[in-house]
Amino acid sequence: MIDSVVAYLASLRNAEERIRRRIGRAAIAAACKPFNGVYERMCLLSLFTAGREFDSEHRFERLYEQFSDVASRREIVLAFGRAGAHHWFLTRRRDYQSLEPWSKRAFLAAFSCVPVDAAQPFYRSLRNGSDVLERAIIRWATDSPFS
C-alpha cells in the first residue's frame, strides 16, 4: 500500500512548487512517525532520491542522525547526493570505510555530486581496495554523476 502512495506522490514532481513543498514536509513527517516501520520509512524517503523537487534538503542531516537503520540511512545518503550536498560528503569521506556494504554503495554513487576535481581522487583511491560491485558503482557514478 505505501509503495502505491509513494508512486502517486512521485508522479506529482511537476506540480506547482507550493504543493511539492507540502508533499515533502508531509512525507518527512510521516517517515518520522513511530508507528511506521523501516519499509514504510524507506519508501517515503525514496521520494527524495530521484531529485530535488520536494525541497527538503535542510531536513536530511537531522534525519540521518535520527535513524540508525541501514535502509533509512541508505535512502538519506542518496537524497543528500541528489540534493548536491557535496559539503556533507566531503566531511564524511574518511568515515566511508566504517559504513556497512549497502550504505557504502549509496555513498559511492551519491558522492558523484561532489565537484569532479574532488570526486576523482577519492574514487581513484578506492579502485584497488573496493570489491567488484563497488568498482562497478564507481564507474557508473563517474559516467552518470548525481546533479
Whole-number CA gyration radius for the chain: 15
Joined grid coordinates for residue 70: 541501514
- Residue 109 · residue 82 · CB < 8 Å: no
**Residues with pLDDT less than 50, the chain:** none
Rounded CA separation 9/68 (Å): 25
Look over the chain and give the mean of its residue pLDDT values, rounded to a whole number.
93
pLDDT tens for each residue of 121-138? 999 988 777 788 999 999
Domain boundaries, given as residue ranges, for the chain: 1-83, 86-147
Sign of CA dihedral 49, 27, 64, 1: negative
Model confidence pTM above 0.85? yes
DSSP string, 42-68: HHHHGGGSS-STT--GGGHHHHHHH--
Instruction: Give pLDDT tens digits for 58-83.
Output: 999 999 999 999 999 999 999 999 99
